[in-house]
Amino acid sequence: MSDPAVQVKPLAHDQIRALQWRGDRLRLLDQRKLPLAEEWIECRGAEEVAQAIRNLVVRGAPAIGIAAAWGVVLAAQRGDDLDKAIATLRATRPTAVNLMWALDRMRARADAGADAPALADEAQKIQDEDLAANRAMGAKGAALIEPGSAVLTHCNTGSLATAGFGTALGVIRAGVAQHRIAQVYAGETRPWLQGARLTMWELQRDGIPATLIADAAASHLLKEGRVRWVIVGADRIAANGDTANKIGTYQLAIAAKHHGVKFMVVAPSSTIDMAAPDGDAIEIELRDPAELLSHDGARTVVEGAQAWNPVFDVTPHALIDAIVTERGVIARPDADRMRAQFGSGGPR
Ligand code: MRU
């Protein structure tokens, strides 16, 4: 039976909506400030949305796709050059394919003659479909987890990173509600601390007890034998199942394989890129080394030091036990199984 410590009120789940459309502006919960402050910023044009994506005010693959779609709507409302707006939004971050997918969808509607209200309908659809996909993935992913399991997650894949509920964190929310998950560990996710700052905040608001670990503690935790699944999101999944996600995911997958712990990737079909044959085709974002050399604006490393700051890595499909999308579960993914689910052209 379940641990009484994880009894949760079903309605306590999933109250956060970090992207809010207000008819002529996009409100974004500023993820740089959480959990110490809950501040919102308002974007009134595509350039402001692009800036918010670049600066990680809004982050997480599905969330940046949704924000970009609203950026196109703002450009259309103001009579701005849509080609330029789309190009600016597309250039903000290279790895999460949801961004390109959402912009391609908006571009197709614009090319078909959609005006600003019709583009707003499309952006709303993108947002609503993401929420529905997350709920579907939550159910499908949770069903794989044996009752009473402990799980480890990485980065933030929750309501903040999506339209709501989350991908990997959606599976965790559903798994806790069904008493399949008895304990949640979250890795800090250096250097930006998405796990420490955002995942811990989301889980605590939902009344889900979670235990924070240093990223470097993961192998030791897995060796202890209590964690049954590592559950992560994705920024882009190639045609053979190779998966780009937050830096540190790959080493978790290696450690999980070594210790006989299962590894689950949870992502909507908008994260699948069948045009990328494998992980080598995925561009990995390099961010400013300053993110590693200082903390909270204060320098922590000796002046003159160099740093290398790739913010995603690719987990080879052979290390993945299941990819969960809203369309179903692909067990032991490879090119054939991916093609069977998504066809050769894929969802894009
Ligand atoms: O740099 P970030 O915070 O945008 O990276 C986010 C991640 O890597 C997430 O795991 C991924 O986007 C999935 S979010 C549902």
Query: Does the Cβ of 324 fall within 6 Å of ligand 1?
Result: no
Atom of ligand 1 nearest to the CA of 168: 15
Q: What's residue 109's pLDDT?
A: 98
pLDDT value for 8: 43
pLDDT (tens digit per residue) in 204-241: 999 998 999 999 999 999 999 989 999 999 999 999 99
pLDDT of residue 28: 98
What's the confidence (pLDDT) of residue 13? 66
Q: What angle do CA 72, 74, 75 make, to 5 degrees?
A: 65
Ligand 1 neighbour 194 (Cβ under 6 A): yes
pLDDT of residue 50: 98
Residues 90 and 312: their CA atoms lie apart, in Å, by 18
Give, in degrees to the nearest 5, the angle at Cα 308 between 303 and 314: 160
Dihedral sign, Cα of residue 286, residue 20, residue 266, residue 151: positive
127 Cβ closer than 6 Å to some ligand 1 atom: no
Give the strand order in the sheet containing 262-266.
210-213, 181-187, 149-153, 227-232, 262-266, 322-325, 328-331
| Confidence tier at 348 by pLDDT (50, 70, 90) | low
pLDDT at position 86, please? Answer: 98
User: Which tops the pLDDT comparison, 99 or 15?
Assistant: 99
Which ranges in 22-60 belong to alpha helices (H)?
46-54
Whole-angstrom distance, CA of residue 159 vs CA of residue 198: 10
Between residues 226 and 286, the one the model is more confident about: 286
Task: Using most ligand atoms within 8 A of CB, pick from 32, 100, 192, 246 the residue to mutate for ligand 1.
Answer: 246
d(CA 204, CA 14): 11
pLDDT grade for 12, boundaries at 50, 70 and 90: low
Selected from 1.10.3720.10, 1.10.275.10, 3.30.1490.20, 3.40.50.10470, the CATH number assigned to the domain covering 135-342 reads: 3.40.50.10470
Convert the pLDDT of each residue in 50-76 to its tens digit.
Answer: 999 999 999 999 999 999 999 999 999
Residues 6+ away with beta carbon under 8 Å from 202: 16, 156, 158, 159, 160, 166, 169
Task: Please state the pTM of the whole predicted model.
Answer: 0.95
| Residues 6+ away with beta carbon under 8 Å from 133 | 268, 269, 270, 325, 326
> Do the beta carbons of residue 150 and residue 185 sit within 8 Å?
yes
Q: Is the CB of 270 under 6 A from ligand 1?
A: no
pLDDT level of residue 346 (50, 70, 90 thresholds): low
Ligand 1 near 77 CB (within 6 A) = no
State which amino acid sits at residue 173: R
pLDDT at 295 (0 to 100): 87
What local confidence, expressed as pLDDT, does residue 15 receive? 82
Indicate the CATH number of 4-132 among 1.20.120.420, 1.10.10.10, 3.30.565.10, 3.20.20.450.
Answer: 1.20.120.420
Rounded to whole angstroms, how far apart are CA atoms 68 and 64? 6
Answer left, alpha or beta for residue 14, where phi above 0 means left and psi between -120 and 50 means alpha: left
Chain segment 103-113, per-residue pLDDT in tens? 999 999 999 99
Give the CA count within 13 Å in the CB-facing half-sphere of 8: 26
> In the predicted model, what is the mean pLDDT of residues 192-196?
97
Instruction: Examine the pLDDT at 345 and tell me if it is beyond 70.
Output: no
Whether the predicted pLDDT of 157 surpasses 90: yes
In this structure, the residue with its CA closest to atom 6 of ligand 1 is: 60
Res. 170 pLDDT band, cuts 50 70 90:
very high
Enumerate the active-site residues.
Answer: 235
Higher local confidence (pLDDT), 189 or 15:
189
Domain residue ranges in the chain: 4-132, 135-342
What percentage of the chain reaches a pLDDT higher than 70?
A: 95
Please give the residue that has the higher pLDDT: either 154 or 346: 154
Average pLDDT, the chain: 95
- Contact indicator for 177, 243 with CB cutoff of 8 Å: no
Examine the pLDDT at 135 and tell me if it is beyond 80.
Answer: yes
